[in-house]
């Protein structure tokens, strides 16, 4: 899994802590506690088995081992592991769901604009 | 001399190996090997309330309230706007708001506090900036109660007037 555009350090929300509100930033996030609100980060987010997220999540890679109630946008990959639960819609470039996961919602694939060579961002648009 | 030199070399390698082994450990767990300490990195901004138990280390920006049963460390570079309530509070960053600790408050030399402090124990290092009122009474959990011990028969609107006359 490619790393996100984060600074390299990981923030951690531990098991007995609850945060309610908006979270934004340029870091990786590891959630083991309770989060309610909205998350928008440019790094990766890892929701551990005790993590409960009632929020819309937007991140680079999203790995879910806990519970997410809300819409998830993963700019790269969404991974639902076998203990993961996603109740909500998701949008991702690639999606990986392990057996045992729970997913109720709508899935939408994000098509990358520059998937072939690393050319200009304005580069070749699909001719349709 | 050579013997002493050799002895020093013998002593040093284990010390050198220890930090090397620590670096060789998985890079994903930096400071906290346990998952008990909440860590809010410096590029994170939170607008909301944090509550819970355990230790929290904040390096980022927070606009909101804290209600924690445990240790709170606000590192240098962190900015907090809001009321903070915890058991122990160690401040090396900026806080704008009321602080209430049930055990102790420690202000480092880079701490900047604009607002009141309520705590039974306080320690302030030289260099800290503190603009506000400090109360060290035994009842630290109730920040909202009026300071005067006299029974306030007058409506709450009159309470601030009483405080001003006392000053």
How confident is the model at residue B36, as a pLDDT? 81
- ipTM, interface predicted TM-score of the complex: 0.76
- pTM of the full structure: 0.70
Which among B35, B43, B50 has the least Cβ separation from residue A15?
B35
In B, which residues are within 8 Å of A3 by CB distance?
A: none
**Tens-place pLDDT, residues A76-87:** 999 999 999 999
Shortest Cα–Cα distance, B83 to chain A (Å): 15
Supply φ then ψ for residue B141, to 5 degrees: -75, -25
- Distance spanning both ends of chain B, measured CA to CA: 71
CB contact A44 to B (< 8 Å): no
DSSP per-residue letters across A72-94? EEEEEEEEE-TT-EEES-EEEEE
**Tens-place pLDDT, residues B3-42:** 655 554 444 444 444 444 333 333 344 444 567 889 999 8
User: Among all chains, which residue has been given the structure tokens 């994000």?
Assistant: A110
**Tens-place pLDDT, residues B57-75:** 999 999 999 899 999 999 9
Domain ranges across chain B: 37-139
* Integer Cα distance of B98 and A116 in angstroms: 54
């Amino acid at each position: 899994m490619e790393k996100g555009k984060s600074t390299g350090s990981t923030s951690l929300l531990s098991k007995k802590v609850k945060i309610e509100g908006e979270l934004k930033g340029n870091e990786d996030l590891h959630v083991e506690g309770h989060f309610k609100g909205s998350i928008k980060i440019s790094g990766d987010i890892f929701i551990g088995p005790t993590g409960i997220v009632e929020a819309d999540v937007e991140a680079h890679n999203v790995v879910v081992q806990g519970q997410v109630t809300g819409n998830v946008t993963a700019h790269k990959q969404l991974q639902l592991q076998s203990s993961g639960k996603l109740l909500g819609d998701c949008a991702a470039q690639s999606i990986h769901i392990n057996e045992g996961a729970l997913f109720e919602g709508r899935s939408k694939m994000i098509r990358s604009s520059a998937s072939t060579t690393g050319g200009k961002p304005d580069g070749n648009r699909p001719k349709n | 001399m050579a013997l002493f030199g050799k002895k020093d070399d013998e002593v040093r390698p284990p010390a050198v190996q220890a930090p090397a082994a620590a670096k060789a450990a998985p890079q994903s767990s930096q400071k906290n090997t346990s998952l008990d300490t909440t860590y809010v990195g410096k590029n994170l901004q939170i607008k909301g309330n944090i509550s819970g138990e355990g230790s929290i280390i904040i390096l980022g920006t927070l606009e909101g309230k804290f209600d924690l049963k445990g240790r709170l460390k606000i590192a240098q570079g962190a900015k907090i706007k809001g009321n903070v309530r915890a058991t122990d509070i160690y401040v090396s960053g900026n806080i704008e708001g009321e602080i209430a600790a049930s055990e102790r408050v420690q202000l480092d030399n880079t701490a900047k506090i604009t607002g009141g402090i309520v705590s039974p124990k306080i320690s302030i290092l030289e260099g800290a900036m503190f603009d506000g009122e400090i109360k060290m009474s035994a009842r630290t959990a109730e920040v909202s109660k009026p300071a005067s011990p006299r029974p306030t028969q007058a409506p709450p609107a009159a309470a601030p007037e009483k405080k001003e006359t006392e000053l």
